[in-house]
Amino acid sequence: MAYQLRRINPNQTQVLFHDGRFETLTNEELQYFLAETGDAEIFINEQSMDE
């Protein structure tokens, strides 16, 4: 599953899937998502949503 992470505020991250879907997750939900996908190393793009 291909995706990119973008921090949108201190408590939320958007998971952008390469098929165009996205999910906005809390920090707790993000930890669960990463545990489910088995990704140990991640890159979070901390760009503002205004850019």
Between 50 and 39, name the one with better pLDDT.
39
- The pLDDT of residue 51 is 46
Instruction: Name the amino acid, one letter, at 2.
Output: A
Per-residue pLDDT band for 47 (boundaries 50, 70, 90) equals low
Query: Which residue blocks in 1-51 are alpha helix, DSSP H?
Result: 27-37
| CB-based contact 13:25 (threshold 8 Å) | yes
Tell me the mean pLDDT in the region 22-51.
75
- The pLDDT of residue 36 is 87
**Digit-coded pLDDT (tens) for 2-36:** 889 999 999 999 999 999 999 999 999 998 898 88
Q: For residue 23, what are its two tokens? A: 């999910």
- Strand, coil or helix: what is 20? coil
Q: For residue 34, what are its two tokens? A: 């990463």
